[in-house]
Structure 1
């Protein structure tokens, strides 16, 4: 049987309480190894759009459903979890840096070559971090999030996780994207390649993206090669008698990338 067929069979039996950890341990460990090696991913791009690999997300959920919480030791600290932290011995051999005191990579996460992880930062199970990507201080990369190569995540950036439902695609930040400090990307939002997003911008499918390049309003995606920043636009609830004056809601404005923006991003590359 392939790893996919083994996970699918386990998932079906788990739904009827007919699966145990003792029989599944070898398969679950092989599954986590494959995630950490980048051999399998929670989502992949096909025909121009990102689609979830349902069986991979099922495998992640099985690790929570079949494993027991137990006391574990790391760095002289006792913690309790169903999973150990990831073995990071391979990172240095591939040119990846991770600073001490707070760089946490959970079992089942992939971190590429020549990446940088500053502390404190956290990468959850099923997440994929591409080659040459910078994960800055106080960043969180949620479960199954897909981060491309040569991405810059500014300090205090949150990349949300999407585990359930299994058919839903996770958050995706494509190659070459730069997210300013304090950005939040949630609920399966896709940030198109080589875009530059300003500080403290919230990217969520519930918030409109006003794309001034193509003169359209988008939800759930930022097109490639855009400069994006947060703005507030007037809300329809302004008409409610309970609200004095005008009411505003968050929005994102996307424009063409300017040479000055690209040059600033390139200067940051040189500092790395």
Structure 2
């Protein structure tokens, strides 16, 4: 059987209440599954090939992660002189240097089952959760969180204090996706399965979520849940439907995202970032 078929079989037995969590076969399958996640051989979501920004979840991968939690008891582990309690130890990062990746001390946490590619930089403190995928050449800056199953492409820059939300359940829900070459400014938040198109540059403190409209001045369209590729985006506020309420003096506003094309100034800034990384 394939790994996908093995996990599907365990999930069906778990749903039926017929899974022996202590069986050697169960743990063998799930630890093979975790190794495949860390190697990047399986992913929680993949592009569908139906055009840019089109992704779909691999439900069986999310089921495998949920099975790990369901079949492993809580144990005590040591990290940096601190005792913590979890179902798995943190990821063994001893081979990062061999593939050109760095994780600085004092709080760079990568959970078992996360993929971190080659030539990556993980600054402390930062956190990469189980099922997440971080592509080659990506920078995860200080105080960043990459949530469970989030898909981060190659050569991405996550500015300091950036939150990439996790979508583990429902298993069919597409996680947050940040495609290749994206630069997110400090303090950005990307949540609820939002897809950031490749090579986009997002201004600091921008909130990207399907509930906030993206006013794209390039296509003259309003998008929800995605930022098209090759855009420069920033947070703005537009008048809210409650602006004329008597309880609210003046006017009330709600957040929106404005997207424009990548101007020469932005491209030059991106090039300067590449020089700094080299």
TM-score bracket for this pair, using the shorter chain length: over 0.9
In 2, the alpha carbon distance for the partners of 1:104 and 1:11 equals 28
Which residue, 146, 155, 173 being the options, matches 2:178? 173
CA positional deviation for 1:141: 0.1
CA positional deviation for 1:65: 1.3
SS at match of 1:169: coil
Correspondence 1:184 to 2:186: no
2:135 maps to: 130
In 1, the alpha carbon distance for the partners of 2:80 and 2:248 equals 53
- Stretches (4+) displaced over 2 A: 239-245
SS at match of 1:240: coil
Correspondence 1:208 to 2:192: no
- Give TM-score, length-normalised by structure 2: 0.96
**Which 10-residue stretch deviates more, 262-271 or 227-236?**
262-271
CA positional deviation for 1:238: 1.5
CA positional deviation for 1:20: 2.4
2:31 maps to: 29
Which residue, 60, 74, 86 being the options, matches 2:79? 74
Which residue, 34, 37, 40 being the options, matches 1:38? 40
CA positional deviation for 1:262: 1.0
**Which 10-residue stretch deviates more, 1-10 or 140-149?**
1-10
State whether residues 164 and 190 of structure 2, in contact with CA within 8 Å, keep that contact through their aligned partners in structure 1.
yes
Correspondence 1:223 to 2:223: no
SS at match of 1:254: strand
Which residue, 103, 106, 118 being the options, matches 2:108? 103
- Give TM-score, length-normalised by structure 1: 0.98
1:10 maps to: 10
**Would you say how many aligned residue pairs link Structure 1 and Structure 2?**
272
2:252 maps to: 247
RMSD of the TM alignment (CA)?
0.9
2:198 maps to: 193
SS at match of 2:243: helix
SS at match of 2:55: strand
Where does the alignment leave 5 or more consecutive residues of structure 1 unmatched?
Answer: none
In 2, the alpha carbon distance for the partners of 1:121 and 1:75 equals 14
In 2, the alpha carbon distance for the partners of 1:189 and 1:119 equals 25
In 2, the alpha carbon distance for the partners of 1:194 and 1:116 equals 19
